[in-house]
Structure 1
């Protein structure tokens, strides 16, 4: 019996199984006690291993994706943002847009949950084994400028074209200088119909000429981004402002009632 147990351990190791060795004895005792059929016993063991490997895969890919934080769709308060159609977001979570190499743009004021939704959808993409990378527009510009100075720009551009889903967060908080704007155009062009992009921005499309400092360039960027895309406009109050109001940071103006 001991020899058989040792042989099983060696077999588990040979197959690269990590979870089954941890739960085998408990499941074996349960199967013997409850007279569980062999196939059911084997199925339970394999399902434990599959779930463990999937969880490990998701955690590893999530770390590699460079998210600023971990957010899920379940944690998003759709009731606070009635301008968003929850069914539409749930449909996006099926990831057909990633499969079809389409883009997704979230537009809205700061603090309305654009980044939250982008990260939540990206985590769903990781669960479905798509490759994902997250970066803010500010960090992207700095990274590309440094790569240009170091003469590694081609390698960086190639790396940014590889993920199934690239998230570029906070477009519009800072104006892009001419070289950075052209690099951005190249990224969008490289990924056109070959990989999905999620963008978040606090600026409407009509203001993108100001972001890139060139209305012609902005039009060319939008032409490629919007050809196969979905735009979600969020119109609502900032979550952060809401929480501060709850905490009493914003006091009502005693003269406001008199002015009405």
Structure 2
């Protein structure tokens, strides 16, 4: 029996069986480089620490239940000038988690709120914090079901125990029945104990009516806004329709000028969520008509006519 074979049961007993993955390589390296015993041991255990850190990160990311694999490195800060890049990168250091601060991200559909929220959650996982991502409707639905099953306290603990809770799309619909109380309870139990990130299409001043009761709303908002970082992202251009805008801007050289292109870029963002349902110039025409932008409508009509002539 070789010395390595004798090591296996000992390493397993010490829960260091992962050392076996690099033991042979490090042993050969120690011989070739004439490493000291302490240097050999340092490198061997360093491999095990790195392996465990990687495994724990994977577990934290999996338990966080992110909807998509989003990171700050993937976020395009150029598509929307209103995104406070310096503030976002500061939050990416995760120092707000150590202070148990909240982050509230508000803005119209398609400006990157969910991406930023999940990216902060991923940063938290990388920094060793536990995180959980959940849609507001899904969280409240789970709590309502748990109340009926008699497991409310256990289910509530799922949302109050993570170091970082990310609640996406708060206020997308009104709160009914016990949902205002459930939301308040989550906010109350996390206050100054854990950090919460909330995204919403509604401005902060529109949140209190969601609770239905002025006293409950006041108590909840006081806890949410105390030690909070509020990111207000204005609608300069929707990330989901960025491809449409870039292709439209390229048609400036086709004959309708830079002023028309500027009008396209500044069109009303309320149409952004419906644009993917339409195609080509018809999609832009619908956006222009619904927003009342005559200049935009004229430019897009010219583009459509030019396309039709080329097809002929």
TM over 0.5: yes
Q: What are the ranges of 5 or more consecutive residues in structure 2 without an aligned counterpart?
A: 249-278, 286-295, 302-312
Match of 2:298 among 243, 256, 259: 256
* Aligned position for 2:183: 184
1:213-235 Cα deviation digits (max 9, x unpaired):
44554333211100111111112
* Aligned position for 1:230: 229
Shift of residue 156 of structure 1?
2.1
8 A Cα contact 1:103 1:198, kept in partner = yes
Matched position secondary structure for 2:243: helix
* Aligned position for 2:240: 240
Please tell me whether residue 14 in structure 1 is matched to residue 56 in structure 2: no
Shift of residue 15 of structure 1?
2.3
Query: What is the TM-score normalised by the length of structure 1?
Result: 0.89
* Aligned position for 1:207: 206
Shift of residue 245 of structure 1?
4.6
Q: Tell which structure's C-alpha radius of gyration is larger.
A: 2
Q: Whole-Å Cα distance in 1 between the matches of residues 227 and 33 of structure 2?
A: 56
1:14-57 Cα deviation digits (max 9, x unpaired):
22224321121122222322333433332222221111101100
* Aligned residue-pair number: 259
8 A Cα contact 1:64 1:133, kept in partner = yes
* Aligned position for 1:48: 47
8 A Cα contact 2:208 2:221, kept in partner = no
Q: Whole-Å Cα distance in 2 between the matches of residues 99 and 118 of structure 1?
A: 17
Q: Whole-Å Cα distance in 1 between the matches of residues 186 and 138 of structure 2?
A: 14
Matched position secondary structure for 1:39: helix
Shift of residue 250 of structure 1?
4.1
Matched position secondary structure for 1:82: coil
* Aligned position for 1:121: 120
8 A Cα contact 1:208 1:215, kept in partner = no
Rate the CA distance shift 1:166–1:31 in 2: closer, same or farther, 3 A.
Answer: same
Shift of residue 143 of structure 1?
0.6
Rate the CA distance shift 1:202–1:215 in 2: closer, same or farther, 3 A.
Answer: farther
Rate the CA distance shift 1:43–1:244 in 2: closer, same or farther, 3 A.
Answer: farther
8 A Cα contact 2:84 2:231, kept in partner = no
* Aligned position for 2:254: none
Rate the CA distance shift 1:8–1:194 in 2: closer, same or farther, 3 A.
Answer: same
Q: Name the structure with the higher helix share.
A: 2
Matched position secondary structure for 1:83: coil
8 A Cα contact 2:105 2:199, kept in partner = yes
Q: Which has the higher contact order (CA 8 A, sep 6+)?
A: 1
Rate the CA distance shift 1:13–1:258 in 2: closer, same or farther, 3 A.
Answer: closer
Q: Whole-Å Cα distance in 2 between the matches of residues 13 and 147 of structure 1?
A: 41
In the TM superposition, 1:1-260 aligns within 5 A as 2-235=1-234, 236-245=236-245, 249-251=279-281, 253=285, 255-257=297-299
1:132-163 Cα deviation digits (max 9, x unpaired):
22110010121111112222223222332211
Q: What are the ranges of 5 or more consecutive residues in structure 1 without an aligned counterpart?
A: none
CA RMSD between the two structures = 2.4
Rate the CA distance shift 1:81–1:246 in 2: closer, same or farther, 3 A.
Answer: closer
Matched position secondary structure for 1:78: coil
